[in-house]
Structure 1
Amino acid sequence: MTNLPLHIVHTEASTGWGGQEIRILSEATGLRDRGHYVQLLCPGDAPIFEAARDMGLTATALDIGKKRIPGLLAMRNWLKNHPTVDILNTHSSTDSWLSAVACKTLSRPPIIVRTRHISTPISHDFSTRWLYTKASRHIVTTGEKLRRTLIEENRFPDEKITSVPTGVDPQIYRPGDKAAARKMLNLPVDTRIIGIVATLRGWKGHQYLLDAVKELNRPDILLLIVGDGPQGSNIELAVENLGITHQVRLVGNQKEVTPWLQTMDLLALPSWANEGVPQSILQAMMCALPVISTPVGSIEEAVINGETGIIIPKKDADALAAAIADLLDHPEHARALGEAGVKRAHELFSRKNMLDHMEEIFSALAMG
């Protein structure tokens, strides 16, 4: 297919920061670099706003953080004043609703593509069905399991839904010298480091990971928590109450995650809800780390139990502790899982694959 330059606009109502926002920016900059004109509409106080501008993207601050009349009018006026938009790619519930209603009032609206990033159940009411099957021309999910859920549980037409897994750049996320990375980041060289890279939200499962470290009671373990978020103070309190302060380091958000991944012996992400295929799992796999996670969302499309990592039941600190001990006590097995993970990540979850598929979807829709 010959791809003519498209005018693509992403919308994001969320004022948080995590894998969803990272994917939007990765996709936007990637398609921009392929010659398309890509813009972002989001609240001015959202972290993605400044991050987009830092990356050279055209980002416009609109009051679309809530489902309110001012946000609807702001969206409508912006779209009316920019009639050349080919694709309007929405990402969260609020901006999807504002975009859909605004486009309904325009004589020549852009094509709406709704991307579903997480596994949160979707309502079966009439208005939600209209949003997904009428207002949106196409739905993209970040995993095949999410796609099957929309088809089988919500009864959305399968021909309107495509799974496009998030992709990460193997030039950025790659194996490295563990000892050198630890020295650079002032981490102990002779300790076994368990890592988690995630926004500090309840459903990411940090509490179960803390409980597992407490249960293991191994002095050779250090838990490295990379990320920030609304549960930060609660996690700090839990660390103190469990008496494992000396075994846990919270290092906050890191602009460059790769060096931190390169310090780890394994990555654990015991999420219990709201996942697609998490960015941190794919990043860890690219860095040849074995991964421990749960059967939530589309995680099992990346983490194949016994091949690229270990899948445990959600909300099960005992199973998590056992899986950690197994990998730490059997380094050859852990190494084999990591090597298989690199191969799977390169084959299925590269940034190029993601960009190729999204570009194909957008171009096909624009061509009619």
Structure 2
Amino acid sequence: MHIVHTEASCGWGGQEIRILTEAEGMLRRGHRVTLLCPPEARIFAEAEQRKIPVVALPIGRKRLPGVLALRRWLKAVPVDVINTHSSTDTWLVALASRLLAQPPPLVRTRHISASVPKNRLTRWLYQKATRHIVTTGEKLRLQLILENGYDPARITSVPTGMDTEYFVPGHRAARRAQLGIDANVLVIGIAATLRSWKGHEYLVQAFSRLSTRPSRLIILGDGPQRETLRRQIMELGLQDRVFMPGDQRDVLPWLQAMDIFVLPSYANEGVPQAIMQAMLCALPVVTTPVGSIGEIVTHDATGLLVRPKDAEELWQALERLAADASLRSRIGTQARQFALAHFGLDPMLDRMEKVFAGAMAGTRR
């Protein structure tokens, strides 16, 4: 197949990483893959670095030049299926397809749990212009069925796959020596784009009350909330205990240096890759039952679940794990066992191949 992915977003996070991971997997299986995105998007440079064929098009905004550019490209290049990932590129592809005599089937992947508008135009986009919808979790699939009334036969949940041979537990002391972290402190960490709904502020609040000393909080990532978080850390007098190394191309060394991983999101999640990576590294995870997180984290088994936006409950969960090394070990071990059984790359690629083939068969009919 010639599979084309489109991504209008210039941001960087799990969604963009999944696109590239899936593209690499399909290339290894012998398919032809092309990514279409704005030239200024980070995913453009990342695709080039990973040797994924990528074409720059002006599709970062919902404007006529993007529609026309997509139409020209799709008219000139034979495509079997086109997989869109954000609202903007989905609309642009759908409109460009209306201008083609034989457009490729459109598959729309939904990565987050934000509500889909309930209006006639959006319904046309999802139920007429789109051949099939993919969600990254079953709860996201049910949301579209129950809240929007979309056809369940045309929606498939395909969780993101991880490289289970790469994300493994490491030698904690060696990693800390490499990263300049004291070997004798309790290290709590988060890896996420610094967006408000990732819940960093609640984590900082909870950490400020932690009785365990010495302890450190590591905040990996970058984004629009960086300065807000810096101010909060200063106001709480935590500047010597909270570190913000910024965005990291490789989070594995940091995960292997941690004792506890936290992601207190309160909106918009699918199945966060950071949690999956932490579980593969045998870390006990504290998180919230937002989006499809509850499909991989079971309370007191593969992690601890707390209410969203509840710094008090988050603090209690951290206190519990900080005080009990055996509990951390038990939950971390069970998390890794679950992750190894469910997070492989091949199941994701198998399911996406089936979705794409089905979309193509629908076109032939």
**Out of 169, 189, 214, which is 2:163 matched to?**
169
Shift of the 174–338 alpha-carbon distance from structure 1 to 2, 3 Å rule, reads same
Instruction: Please give the alpha-carbon distance, in whole angstroms, between the structure 2 residues aligned to 1:88 and 1:242.
Output: 49
Q: Could you tell me how far 1:189 is from its partner in structure 2?
A: 0.4
Q: Match for 1:98: what amino acid?
A: L
Q: Could you tell me how far 1:349 is from its partner in structure 2?
A: 1.6
Q: Could you tell me how far 1:217 is from its partner in structure 2?
A: 4.6
Q: Match for 1:65: what amino acid?
A: G
Q: Match for 1:342: what amino acid?
A: R
SS in 2 for 1:245: coil
2:41 is matched with 46
2:26 is matched with 31
Q: Which moved more, 1:331-340 or 1:109-118?
A: 331-340
Q: Could you tell me how far 1:214 is from its partner in structure 2?
A: 1.0
1:270 is aligned to 2:264: yes
1:14 is aligned to 2:9: yes
SS in 1 for 2:26: helix
Q: Match for 1:74: what amino acid?
A: A
1:366 is aligned to 2:360: yes
Q: Could you tell me how far 1:365 is from its partner in structure 2?
A: 2.4
Instruction: Please give the alpha-carbon distance, in whole angstroms, between the structure 1 residues aligned to 2:150 and 2:342.
Output: 25
SS in 2 for 1:216: coil
Identity across matched positions, percent: 51
Q: Could you tell me how far 1:364 is from its partner in structure 2?
A: 2.7
Q: CA contact under 8 A between 2:211 and 2:319: conserved in structure 1?
A: no
1:344 is aligned to 2:350: no
- TM-score, with length taken from structure 2: 0.98
List gaps (5 residues or longer) in structure 1: 1-5
**Out of 105, 112, 120, which is 2:106 matched to?**
112
Query: Within 5 A, what are the aligned runs for 1:160-309?
Result: 160-309=154-303
1:79 is matched with 74
SS in 2 for 1:219: coil
Instruction: Please give the alpha-carbon distance, in whole angstroms, between the structure 2 residues aligned to 1:363 and 1:340.
Output: 36
List gaps (5 residues or longer) in structure 2: none
Deviation by residue 1:148-190 (Cα, 9 ceiling, x = unmatched): 0100110000000000011110111111111111111111100
Q: Could you tell me how far 1:367 is from its partner in structure 2?
A: 3.4
1:332 is aligned to 2:326: yes
Deviation by residue 1:281-309 (Cα, 9 ceiling, x = unmatched): 00000000011101110001111111100
Instruction: Please give the alpha-carbon distance, in whole angstroms, between the structure 2 residues aligned to 1:20 and 1:197.
Output: 14
1:3 is matched with none
Instruction: Kindly report structure 1 stretches of 4+ aligned residues shifted beyond 6 Å.
Output: none
Q: Match for 1:178: what amino acid?
A: R
Instruction: Please give the alpha-carbon distance, in whole angstroms, between the structure 2 residues aligned to 1:244 and 1:345.
Output: 33
Deviation by residue 1:53-97 (Cα, 9 ceiling, x = unmatched): 100011111111110111111111111111x10110000000000
Q: Match for 1:147: what amino acid?
A: R
Deviation by residue 1:221-245 (Cα, 9 ceiling, x = unmatched): 1001111111111111111111101
